[in-house]
Structure 1
Amino acid sequence: MKNSSISRRDFSLLAANVAAMSLLSPLAGRAQGQPAFNLGHFSSANPQTYQKVTGSLAKALAGKATVNFTTMASAPQFMAALAGGSLDSAAIGSSPMVSAFAQGLDISLVYIQKIITTAEALVVRNQSGIKTIPDLAGKKIGVPFNTSAHFALVGAIRKAKLKATDVQLINMKPDSLIATWTRSEIDGAYIWHPFLGQLAAQDGKIVTTTADLKDIGLSVFDGIVVRNEFKKRHPEVLLAYLKSYAATCDQFRNHEDAVVADFAKFLGLPADTTKAYVSTFVTLRPAEVLSADWMGAPGAKDSGVLKSLKSQAEFLVEAKQIERVPSNIESFVDSSFVARMV
């Protein structure tokens, strides 16, 4: 896997520019007679950010709704905003999503934002003595708890026939990992870009990625969720957004150089640095999202997504993050919109 060269300064610049775009958006207000579509997204080089940079979503929703982009840093922030009604839609990881379902948040999964393959990985210090997963026994590994990275790390540990208790798992915020790593207080971390690239560049090496869990049936993903009230009141707005998102993913897939050029100009970063980040974003086409391997057709009871969500729910119960596995997870999965896109 190629290490990202995105530095802490690069990431700070990305976050600052993305946040600034929220203030500069010409559609930050609400057009007369049109609903507002309040979209939450992370400050990374993802399709939602690209829709903001290029104005493509504003164009897709013209005449239907005004779009307001809100940049946030964590899934709990998104979930609180969705619960309070200040956001209509956001992309969050599958593990936080399960927590939201278990808490009874009135939202639905309507699309797969991305599948997590090499964008999240276990990076270890070269002096740690860790060469394979079994070598993690007794080692200190930092990871943000109740995240897709946490779930993947435990999956990798179990795949190696170890117990989670055999490894010293330390709950750490992503931005805290850098300083802790620099002080040699941890042996490794399971984390995502840009932090992954920063740690690998500081005398680290990548041992395994989330993609390596596919052979044991674990699929980890981020999904687009929406408040059910908004979905019911403005279905055509939601459909237009998802179509625009899918078209943007096609640009990432088929015209990466143009996407990199746009992002590099917007972020003020070198093209190779920007490309290192953009290339970690793996998306699905609508027909793939609708397949049994992922969301399945409307009403599906045994799709890949449902299996993954149930598996992650069991993990969260064991980790004491939720009390029980939701008995009706399938009620939170709505593939009717993607079915209209195929």
Structure 2
Amino acid sequence: MSKKNSKPLWITAIVLVAIVAFIVYQNRKDQASDAQTVSRKSVVIAYQTGVDPSKVAQANGDYEKNSGQHIQWKKFDAGSDVVNALASGDVVIGNIGSSPLAAAASRNVPIEVFLITAKLGSSEALVVSQKSNIHSPQDLIGKTIAVPFVSTTHYSLLSALKHWGISENQVKIINLRPPEIAAAWERGDIDATYVWEPALSKAKATGTVLTDSKQVGEWGAPTYDLWVVRKDFAEKNPDFLKSFVKTTLTQIDAYQQNPQAFVQNQSNIDKIAKLTGSDPKDIPLLLAGNNYLNLEQQQKTLSGDFAKNIFDTATFLKSQGKVDQVKANYAENVSTAFFK
């Protein structure tokens, strides 16, 4: 073969090598781009307006910083709405009470509780209007009480009525979400409400607390504020959930180690107030009204009788006609895997 003819072949070979190298480079670039797109995809989380220390971590963006993951936070007014969003897949993690959890698990919504935000106390309360002439539990008979149905406050209200020997048909219980409760209270359409923040503070301004969830819990019907997750998301994203748990517990520990210093930090108060819509002056008392569990307490509670607590709640809700069925066991709806 002559040198004259061999030169174009070398050029062709070089061009082919260059083309192949370019294709490999582009494939790797596209794969990297795809990976970046996945990491940038938002984790959609539903939160509510209950007052707790972890709201500071949410406001600070700590969940995003610690996980390296973008989060889209969506505010909801009631646990039933969060459950619907979880069931449809519109959100993958949600903040709900133990009563909505019991109702959702009973109808086989594929979720599990992986973290306790708080054991509820005075942050949820039954408030009676000063205009209603209600001075004792028996004065509730014949009165109109507003509550979000199948919420922790609904469960607590029904439990309180049972404790007082008042049947459900002796009062008029209406289903309203917290913003609707606040409006109905202002208009004077209701005599009482069992609700949480920020509607609670608005009711207390012109009302009197008849009982709260701390007292109802002592009567045998404790309620919890919880973080739950879709099981399919949990299986694929354990590291994110471990980071979420660690971030939350870090904030709970910061509060528990020195509650006074925590509430004296005006920045903490302002951040919680902004996220929840609560009056800043009420936040220290509301924080003090709940019990926040550390790592050891979380593990002990969730691995202990918590599944039975869900069963008891579901059984009560069924007796009130609020759920159609009760499962034999709710252990599959409780997970301690993300504390490790």
Pair 180,267 (structure 1): closer, same or farther in 2 beyond 3 Å: closer
Partner of 2:9: none
**TM-score, scaled to structure 1:** 0.79
Query: Structure 1 residues 278 and 75, CA, compared in 2 at 3 Å: closer, same or farther?
Result: same
Q: Distance in 2 between matches of 1:225 and 1:290?
A: 15
> What residue number does 1:119 align with?
123
Deviation per CA, 1:197-237, whole angstroms, max 9, x where unpaired? 111212x1111111112333211011110111111112121
Structure 1 segment 1-342 matched on structure 2, within 5 A: 31-32=36-37, 34=39, 36-43=42-49, 45-62=51-68, 65-202=69-206, 204-253=207-256, 254=258, 255-257=261-263, 260-264=266-270, 272-291=281-300, 294-296=301-303, 300=304, 303=305, 305-338=306-339, 340=340
Instruction: Tell me the CA shift for residue 267 of structure 1.
Output: 5.7
Identity of aligned residues (%): 23
Q: RMSD across aligned C-alpha pairs, in angstroms?
A: 2.5
Q: Which runs of 5+ in 2 are unaligned?
A: 1-34
Task: String of CA shifts for 1:67-94, please: whole Å, max 9, x gaps.
Answer: 3322233323322332233322111011
SS at structure 2 position matched to 1:110: strand
| Counterpart AA for 1:221 | Y
Distance 2:86 2:124 in 1: 25
Q: Report the counterpart of residue 12 of structure 1 in structure 2.
A: none
Count residues with an aligned counterpart.
Answer: 299
Query: Per-residue displacement from partner, 1:270-303 (whole Å, max 9, x unpaired)?
Result: 8535545544454211211222xx312xxx5xx0
What's the CA shift string for 1:10-34, capped at 9, x where partnerless? Answer: xxxxxxxxxxxxxxxxxxxx94453
Does the C-alpha gap of structure 1 residues 232 and 179 become closer, same or farther in structure 2, counting only changes over 3 Å?
closer
What amino acid maps onto 2:211 in structure 1?
A: T
Runs (5+) with no aligned partner, structure 1: 1-29
CA–CA separation in structure 2 for the residues paired with 1:259 and 1:115: 24
Distance 1:76 1:214, change over 3 A: closer
Q: TM-score, normalised by structure 2?
A: 0.79
Name the stretch that deviates more: 226-235 or 318-327. Answer: 318-327
Secondary structure of the residue that 2:134 maps to in structure 1?
coil
Is the 1:109–1:225 contact (alpha carbons within 8 Å) kept by the matching residues of 2? yes
Larger radius of gyration, structure 1 or 2? 2
SS of residue in 1 equivalent to 2:211: strand
Give the secondary-structure state (helix, strand or coil) at the position aligned to 2:302.
coil
* Separation of aligned partners in 2, 1:223 and 1:244: 15
